[in-house]
Amino acid sequence: MTISLHNLKSPKGARKPRKRLGRGNASGHGTYSTRGQKGQRARSGGRKGLIQLGVKHFIMRMPKQRGFKSTKAAKEEINVSALNRFADDTIVDIAMLKAASLCKGKKIKILGNGKLSKRLQVRVPVSRGAKATIESAGGVVEVQVIDEKIEKPKKK
């Protein structure tokens, strides 16, 4: 049998019969006819249809974001032990660290974790502990030392 317009049928369950309201209590939709009891929506002509709000409609429904995310890039932290890969008397700066793929950005800070066995000239911001480690290995730090501990202003 070929399919043509006169013998097309939708699949079973695709078409639902409409709700017949107000046809007696035996139907299950009698008395209040699914409108509840009193109120604007129970009356005829009460409450108009959907209101078009455009984009605002979706923004109002979105969950509110909590907290704060800074747009400033955070400092990348490199430990002193990672500097052992450089040869003695090497000048370590941001370009060298990028070439050795130890960092990606421009904001870098060297921390004092680990041991250093090479004499290096460091031209990157370092912590106090890192400065002590570099100088004890015979190296030189040529940039300002950044405190590891940042003191917050006291509230009055």
Give the distance from CA 108 to its chain's centroid. Answer: 23
The residue count of the chain comes to 156
Asked whether the predicted pLDDT for residue 145 surpasses 90, the reply is no
Which has the higher per-residue pLDDT, 150 or 17?
17
pLDDT in tens, 40-94: 889 888 877 766 778 887 888 889 888 888 888 888 899 999 999 999 988 998 8
Domains of the chain: 76-141 (3.100.10.10)
111 to 6, 59, 68, 76, 148: CA distances (angstroms):
81, 44, 26, 10, 8
The pTM is what? 0.50
Query: Cβ(59)–Cβ(94) under 8 Å?
Result: no
Alpha-carbon span 87 to 18, nearest angstrom = 83
pLDDT in tens, 99-114: 998 988 888 899 988 9
Q: Sign of dihedral through CA atoms 83, 88, 93, 96? A: negative
Encoded amino acid at 78, one letter = I
Q: Which residue has the tokens 């317009």?
A: 5
